[in-house]
Structure 1
């Protein structure tokens, strides 16, 4: 027998590659070898044609606004577009690839061409998640899926277990954040091909990393949105702050989005989705809200895989987070907990302005409550805040229902100067805030570069045509006001999002990771995550609601206990400059910062200023 060095599972995967295909209801779809069905919903049109490799053929109306055409002899790489009655060519809104950009033809793709290596991968439980959010275009100098794949080993070595990709659905231009996508099934061409994205995910799985995709379902972008030309019925009269809202009361529109979620999870093997700005998904005319139906559908088709769903919603509400009798989520695993960031940022960076203003008082009481029970705001009236954002009680949920962070793409990139936290606070405070983030029971999220202490700014950047005035410096200044900018910041101080240099300046400097400071930070992050995985994660496997109890929260001091299954996890933190008397702890100290002597677990303790500890009793 020849020794291959592979496990039986890996050898089986190589011998029997898995072909992952999701049969979309929209667009081009192979139905047999060389035979493709083209389908488009265009209820306002009386005629529609298909342009394929230079030839135009009328499509057949099949009822309810749908047009279809079955074509044989179609090979991968064939160019195609839909032709409107006046002759305009538009790309496939559900196409798998583009020839050039969102204004040109689509390409036929054989989804079975990629041979998956890690076919036995079924994901990881959510309580093991330590997330790193990244933007493909600035994660590496090359800004591609292939280049990003080469850096995944660095993240895995640090202890990251989940990478969360900012949106990759095709949008206009050569750079952007991705939240203005217009072709939701098409990977953004400058990042690479569909197979390049699959290879990135495959590589991640081989390293034990889950991959979650950020998806935007509340609107489509303003440039390249041809659906609004031939199917204006796809959109509501009401809009979102960023564009037209999709009309989910119509089945084709609803199917388009739910199929998209399933497409990424099934055909690309993503381990989950993060639904952007779910509170702006307007669906008050349907029996079931789109956000709920999407989650239920994903859960039904996921089988034995660990597929995780996260959403963003600043209303601090719990219905989409509720668990069943076995502790499993009915809909979503977790929500981005913006309040945790706002509270700590307002205090640590001394920026009690903009979005942070409602969180800039009663810091320690609110921090204790957030650590123990989830949301910072749980129903009380707060000055300067929309009543819809006051929320409700959340302590009945397990800690893992909340994703906490010190920074993310929004909280850095929407600032006037794109500064990271380390440009705003001293290293010692940043270290303690990071320890509290990584060792508290909530799910921690880091932004790319945070694993090695990057100080590289990250800006909002775009590549809109000159006739589109969206997100110009004056708009960015208004946005920056909400993210802590002083009143003396002017338009002249804001980097032009459309200037390519703004994009270049946002690219990660991986050389910093090799410096003494970078290596120190990497080692510290790795140590904290190792402690989390070894000592906290086993307790989180049994974590339920009503786990946290605030023992002290005042004057810079916070003491919280969490009962996690049969174990007790404890935090004692003193962010003041003076020694504070703190409640006793039990068991072994797992991590400590700023302690110069041994503390007695049997009595209340005197905790020095600028120090914290985590302890565990099993």
Structure 2
């Protein structure tokens, strides 16, 4: 099986073996195609509206650059592969050279999603696509159904989280070649695992982006973002820019046979046009690969805009299947750690209420004023959406890596309370997301790391330390100086998972818990999630750190959660109804029958529909 996505830009290998090169360079007078293999310098012809084109004898494997106005030679912004990093030559890739062995694969329904987020460079000792592929059997055995890769688009240097990518069509060469990523995806499908990719459409990284040189209209000063001038998604002449990102989404889904995309920080995308780029992109996906198989689109959106998660009359996603639900994480984090600074302040006054609301209604903030955001309203009503519209988690790359020392929850929260929270979150109806290593209580940190050129590297290090100066523990410059340097190689290597620790009893116990709870999810929860609609959940606060949640699932059965993350037992109104699925700790079941919810405990009950 051959798979290729044809694009109106970049290098496209034809059936005759010749390659068409096409670049949008409205700010350039002339563009020259330089072929490294032959030393040829070929003028690209202007073909109107800022486009330059040339067809040449340049088979797959040819290295090339594009010289702008006789000056700087730059890589292709639509390069499929840049083996020499973001400043080097691009390589012609023929996607039809790869034979896909996963022809029968049509994906999995969204309600089956159990997501495992990982960073390719630190997940395995190899730090490559092949290193991830080697551990797919482990992931399938854990009980996850989807692997979510942090961004792999070509970034500057040898190490990066991926959010500084500048060549969005090119898998970073540090991880392997495009065909290595394709082999990973095909191998995942052979194990009934979906593969999602994190993509960044709100900005380009600070090093290696040459679009300003020859395509100034790619950006607009009318809108500003944390990274400067916004990407030009609205206004006159924006269609090429919009098409660039829509094609990028289709490229990953079609050419790499991915099962879904997670769009990073879409609240930083500025677009005043209609349809919004988020809607236009989703509609292109639904009309394209989404018609043939299960394709899932996920958002990260700090604005909690429920509108993008709308369902049609049949309950299908109109645009996006789900959004990462930060509210669930923040409320859990306050209850588990007691931390109340930064955005946690929004949840500090009644964390059990915020947790109950976000578990059962989607967003905790549905239009209420956010103290952290200077009391501006945040969010839109979300209770009408099904639980499947919200991805829940206890940890992600953001929530671990954006701490000064990259600590995981196992080093911040009492173990019994964390085990109770884990049981509660993994069986809730919303699709859960695990961050690599949390399932075995990884002790290794996940730090912020990058590998920029000297001048930018120094600025990033200063900025990182200045960012934490507003926290009391880092007010002293000496304390700031101890924050790991993002550009140091040691910061990266310390973030690599230690798989040998699985031989230690503590880590083995954590892994056993995750496997057990996920097995319960697959046997008792997932089969009942289809057709679960909006207004499915209700909650009741039982104490400062305790709550009861109840959901009516698609088959009419009721799922009940009792959760207490506080240090004291709380009374409940009579013994729970239904069949006990799990209690953590196990002795909590007997105490619940006596009308008490013990400290640091969780229990799930299922009221099944009579046959």
TM-score range, shorter chain: over 0.9
CA contact (8 A) 1:460 1:497 kept: yes
1:434: how far off? 0.8
Could you say what secondary structure the match of 1:97 adopts?
Answer: coil
| 1:31-430 superposed matches below 5 A | 31-52=14-35, 53=37, 54-72=39-57, 74-237=58-221, 238-249=223-234, 250-284=238-272, 286-301=273-288, 302-388=290-376, 390-430=378-418
Structure 1 runs not aligned, ≥5 long: 1-17
Counterpart contact for 1:572–1:613, Cα < 8 Å = yes
Change in CA separation of 1:484 and 1:514 when aligned onto 2, cut-off 3 Å: farther
Change (3 A) 1:300 1:370: same
For 1:567 and 1:230, locate their aligned partners in 2 and report how far apart those are by CA, in whole Å.
60
Specify the SS of the correspondent of 1:339. helix
Cα pair 1:588 1:616 within 8 Å, conserved:
yes
What's the offset of the Cα at 1:482? 7.9
Aligned mates of 1:582, 1:521 — CA distance in 2: 29
Task: Choose which of 474, 490, 510 in structure 2 pairs with 1:521.
Answer: 510
Distance 1:273 1:325 in 2: 24
**TM-superposed deviation, 1:149:** 0.7
Counterparts of 1:539-578 in structure 2, within 5 Å, are 539-565=528-554, 566-578=556-568
Give the match's secondary structure for 1:203.
helix
Over aligned residue pairs, what C-alpha RMSD do you find? 1.8
* SS state at 1:69 partner: strand
Instruction: Provide the rounded CA distance (Å) in 2 between the counterparts of 1:487 and 1:326.
Output: 54
> Structure 2: 5+ residue runs without aligned partners?
none
Deviations 1:205-256 (A, max 9, x none): 1111111100000111111101111111111113321354210231111111
Give CA deviations for 1:94-134 in whole Å, capped at 9, x if unaligned.
11111311111111111011111111111111111111110
TM-score, structure 2 as length reference: 0.94
Moved more, 554-563 or 57-66: 554-563
| Alignment: residue pair count | 598
Q: Given the alignment of the two structures, is residue 436 of structure 1 paired with residue 419 of structure 2, yes or no?
A: no
Secondary structure, aligned partner of 1:446: strand
The equivalent of 1:538 in structure 2 is 527
Contact 2:335 2:352 in 1 (8 A): no
For residue 509 of structure 1, report the CA deviation from its aligned partner. Answer: 0.5
For 1:139-178, what per-residue CA distance to the aligned partner results, in whole angstroms no more than 9, with x for missing partners? 1121111111101111111001111111000011111111
Change (3 A) 1:362 1:484: farther
Alpha-carbon offset, residue 389 of structure 1: 5.2
Q: Is 2:596 aligned against 1:586? A: no
| Other structure's SS at 1:59 match | strand
Cα distance per residue 1:417-450 (max 9 Å; x no partner): 1100001112211111111110111111111111
In 2 relative to 1, CA 606–491 (structure 1 residues): closer, same or farther, beyond 3 Å?
closer
Distance apart, 1:527 and its partner CA? 0.5
SS in 2 for 1:211: strand
